[in-house]
Amino acid sequence: MKKLTLVLLVAACVAPGSAGAATARLFHDTFDPRYRSPGGAVATGTRVRLSVRVTGAKALSVTLRVDAADPAAQTQTRSFLPLHRLGRLWSVTLRTPAKPAILSYVFRARVGKRVLWYGDDFGSADDDVHQGGTGVQSAVDAQGFQLTVYDARFTTPSWLQGAVVYSIFPDRFRNGDPGNDYCRSGGTSGCPTFYGSTPAVLHQTWNEPVEDPQRTGVFNRDFFGGDLQGIQEKLGYLKSLGVDAIWMTPIFKARSNHRYDTDDYHHVDPALGGDAAFASLAAAAKAEGIRLILDGVFNHASSDSLYFDRYHRYPSLGACESPESLWRSWFRFTSSTTPCGSNDYVGWFSLDTLPVFEHGSALVRDFFYRGPDSVVRHWSERGADGWRLDAADQLDHGWWRDFRSNVKAYAPDAAIVGEIWPDASEYLLGNELDSVMNYRFRRAVDGFVRTSDWADSTGKIPVRTPTQLDRALHAVREDYPPQASATAFNLLDSHDTNRALFVFTEPGDDGLTQARERLALAALMQFTYLGAPMIYYGDEAAINAPGLGAADPFNRAPYPWSDASGAPSTYGPADTSMIAYYAKLSRIRHELPALRTGSFEKLVTDDAAGIYAFARAGGGAKPVIVALNKSGSTREVVLRIGRLYPDGTSLEDRLGGTTSAVSVGAVRVSVAARSGAVLVGR
């Protein structure tokens, strides 16, 4: 809704030579407290001072036009507020609405006989570099600056704020019990055939290439045998990495190796060890103080599921089989033919394997989150600490508002984190999701460590200067409530994108040397920024799984364990120095509270030198100063930090170990190519 560009062509009756209008200049900057205070997203009922500067000519009047939108109601109300002049500055104090909303505002000045507008200047919806901040003046109506107004009662789980999250694709992390592997001779889970005719295939060794569907024409049916016992075996490893929470991609009974096509939401897949393995993992993780986040795929199920049963595998009547089915009204049928065929129902992205649920149905809502044994309640009672919600923007705002109010009633500490790639402000007003997977962070940071644009399978990642990185991250912080930013999964890659190491490999590199340095630099940004740094399993070991014409399935390569069968060199071997580096980043983050909860302040954006530096401070914690060098040369950086540490203070670089003293309000530090420093007072 926000990105809708309103271009109303106002008949601009331009009287030639009208009273200096040609020289009039308007200016506003959402990032500058002189123009907007307080900055960023604000709670309902907050007073926000908004100002515009007018120079070059005298304005007769200035008006603020505000559109307020409730994403669920799809209604918009418009109001006009007069601004008052003090010198060159025209200001108004706006009181935000009592209900959550997204406001969009523009300034309109009358100068002579003309009307001038000042609004935001971003281009496409994913133009984070130009969202917020300064705008553009025009003679026609402009697009608005966003002001997010969230519920004043909005809270997010404290355990997730600033937590280190580890993302696991269960089939590919660790095989703890070969006895439950599909198609293992003597195994307990058999060798099933999916979707009527697709046989499961087991890799006979762990460290070997994934099946390339571009060659075999078959997708997602090869299994490595990873399971929950394997995750449990490696909890000590994850603890040593400083992991606070594990997010597992789907674990319920399903048809494919990614398990996003659920068969039965009330049971864990037998090839992952079944329900007993989950109970065991949940107890062990709790003992280690590690939280478990499950993947909620509530947009669609599998056509081969208990509920749909297109292939007649279950004795009960599936929705596809009969209009009398208990589940018939749960799905969207376009014809009454039974048993149904591919053209008789709505599938996600037109995939006939993924029939979409009817989300307005009370039965569907009861099943997923309202009933006494609803899916969410069932697993919350069995050790799930939260949910990552698949394709969250495919479900409407009404669903999420009802979901939140119900789930938070019986599981107040449960995390509700959605998969939403673009701006997710509409879902983060305090009455729907806690937060999102922060793909906006990924675009900005992945672009920053690179030296040229990158065409990823998921869209272009433009190269970013320090200034562009700073603006893009600021735009996201401005859009999202601080509670949501504190719990955002800040990722470099995922099971849906190319692997970070592959994205960070550039022409002219010396093998993977530079790519590994770029990975380390990007991880440093993750671990020193606010929010929840998310590690996609294996990145900490610099897993080398290049995308071969597609991200998926190559991004889902098996973790290169050296004690597993096969050749660890297939995607490894695991880089032990990178593992030690990630563990160190995690330790620094846990030892310095300012990195998790402190404010964020830009210190340096030196585009010529490739330097980005910022400070994290507040709450009585020791301020932390972070400097990143994206260039290929060592840089001497001068940081003016007199406000944070007095002259004479000795600052230690927690990464490199060197110390430097504050002198005349500044500290000088040497930062190696594609590297960084984390300075804190001793």
Active site residues: 390, 419
Sign of the C-alpha dihedral, residues 332, 334, 339, 342? negative
Does residue 263 belong to the site contacting Ca ion (CB under 5 A)? no
Site size toward Ca ion, by CB under 5 A: 13
> How far are the Cα atoms of 194, 255, 260, 264, 522 from residue 220, in angstroms, in the given order?
11, 9, 10, 18, 30
For residue 113, with 0-12 CB atoms within 10 Å meaning exposed, 13-18 middle and 19 or more buried, which class applies? middle
Between residues 309 and 539, which has the closer beta carbon with respect to Ca ion? Answer: 309
Between residues 120 and 344, which has the closer beta carbon with respect to Ca ion? Answer: 120
| Angle (CA) 300 304 308, round 5° | 65
How large is the C-alpha radius of gyration of the chain? 27
3-state helix, strand, coil in the chain (%, to 5): 25, 30, 45
* Angle between helix 513-528 and helix 439-449 axes, rounded to 10 deg: 140
Between residues 176 and 296, which has the closer beta carbon with respect to Ca ion? Answer: 176
Between residues 319 and 671, which has the closer beta carbon with respect to Ca ion? Answer: 319
Between residues 66 and 501, which has the closer beta carbon with respect to Ca ion? Answer: 66
Q: How far is the CB of 312 from Ca ion (least distance, A)?
A: 5
Q: How far is the CB of 193 from Ca ion (least distance, A)?
A: 16
Q: How far is the CB of 655 from Ca ion (least distance, A)?
A: 33
Secondary structure of 503-555 in HEC code, one letter for each residue: HCCCCCCCCCHHHHHHHHHHHHHHHHCCCEEEEECCHHHCCCCCCCCCCCCHH
Token readout for 406 is 């119900």
Task: Tell me if residue 26 falls in helix, strand or coil.
Answer: strand
Task: Tell me if residue 425 falls in helix, strand or coil.
Answer: helix
Residue 662 phi, psi (nearest 5): -75, 130
Looking at 181, 295, 344, 470, which residue binds Ca ion (CB under 5 A)? 181
Between residues 45 and 123, which has the closer beta carbon with respect to Ca ion? Answer: 123
**Which H or E run includes 81?**
strand 75-82
The residue among 519, 506, 492 whose CA lies nearest residue 452 is 506
CB 271 within 8 A of CB 228: no
For residue 349, with 0-12 CB atoms within 10 Å meaning exposed, 13-18 middle and 19 or more buried, which class applies? exposed
Q: How far is the CB of 288 from Ca ion (least distance, A)?
A: 21
Q: How far is the CB of 202 from Ca ion (least distance, A)?
A: 9
Distance of alpha carbon 140 from alpha carbon 445, whole angstroms: 35
Which part of the chain contacts Ca ion (CB under 5 A), choosing from 318-326, 432-440, 503-511, 637-645? 318-326
Which part of the chain contacts Ca ion (CB under 5 A), choosing from 19-27, 304-312, 347-355, 388-396? 304-312
Which residues in 122-244 belong to E strands, given as ranges?
135-138, 145-150, 165-168, 193-194, 198-199, 201-202, 222-223
Looking at 225, 250, 386, 568, which residue binds Ca ion (CB under 5 A)? 225
Label the pairing between strands 532-536 and 386-389.
unpaired
Between residues 121 and 446, which has the closer beta carbon with respect to Ca ion? Answer: 121
Distance of alpha carbon 673 from alpha carbon 516, whole angstroms: 12
| Angle (CA) 286 563 277, round 5° | 30
Which part of the chain contacts Ca ion (CB under 5 A), choosing from 168-176, 293-301, 478-486, 510-518? 168-176
Does residue 227 belong to the site contacting Ca ion (CB under 5 A)? yes
Does residue 423 belong to the site contacting Ca ion (CB under 5 A)? no
**Which H or E run includes 589?**
helix 576-591
Q: How far is the CB of 155 from Ca ion (least distance, A)?
A: 30
Strand partners, 69: 76, 102
Which part of the chain contacts Ca ion (CB under 5 A), choosing from 219-227, 255-263, 332-340, 493-501? 219-227
* Angle between helix 439-449 and helix 466-479 axes, rounded to 10 deg: 170
Where in 11-50 is the site for Ca ion (CB under 5 A)?
none
Q: How far is the CB of 281 from Ca ion (least distance, A)?
A: 13
Single-letter code of the amino acid located at 651: L
Between residues 39 and 225, which has the closer beta carbon with respect to Ca ion? Answer: 225
Q: How far is the CB of 133 from Ca ion (least distance, A)?
A: 4
The DSSP code sequence of 470-487 is HHHHHHHHHHS-HHHHHT
Looking at 143, 175, 189, 305, which residue binds Ca ion (CB under 5 A)? 175
Q: How far is the CB of 637 from Ca ion (least distance, A)?
A: 28
Between residues 130 and 255, which has the closer beta carbon with respect to Ca ion? Answer: 130
Which part of the chain contacts Ca ion (CB under 5 A), choosing from 31-39, 217-225, 399-407, 447-455? 217-225
Which part of the chain contacts Ca ion (CB under 5 A), choosing from 63-71, 314-322, 437-445, 549-557? 314-322
- Residue 14: how many CB atoms within 10 A of its CB? 14
Between residues 119 and 676, which has the closer beta carbon with respect to Ca ion? Answer: 119
* Angle between helix 513-528 and helix 576-591 axes, rounded to 10 deg: 20
Distance of alpha carbon 380 from alpha carbon 74, whole angstroms: 33
Q: For the chain, give me the number of helices (H) and strands (E)? A: 14, 36
Does residue 314 belong to the site contacting Ca ion (CB under 5 A)? yes
Between residues 443 and 616, which has the closer beta carbon with respect to Ca ion? Answer: 443
Which part of the chain contacts Ca ion (CB under 5 A), choosing from 105-113, 227-235, 449-457, 516-524? 227-235
Q: How far is the CB of 625 from Ca ion (least distance, A)?
A: 27
Q: Which are the contacts of 456, defined by CB distance < 8 A and separation ≥ 6? A: 497, 498, 503, 551
Between residues 142 and 461, which has the closer beta carbon with respect to Ca ion? Answer: 142
Sign of the C-alpha dihedral, residues 273, 278, 282, 285? positive
* Residues 109-138 as x/- pattern, contact with Ca ion by CB under 5 A: -----------xx--------x--x-----
Q: How far is the CB of 148 from Ca ion (least distance, A)?
A: 15
Which part of the chain contacts Ca ion (CB under 5 A), choosing from 18-26, 178-186, 298-306, 507-515? 178-186
Strand partners, 85: 90
Q: How far is the CB of 466 from Ca ion (least distance, A)?
A: 17
Which part of the chain contacts Ca ion (CB under 5 A), choosing from 303-311, 428-436, 530-538, 673-681? 303-311
Looking at 91, 180, 220, 487, which residue binds Ca ion (CB under 5 A)? 180
- List residues binding Ca ion (CB under 5 A): 120-121, 130, 133, 175, 177, 180-181, 225, 227, 309, 314, 318
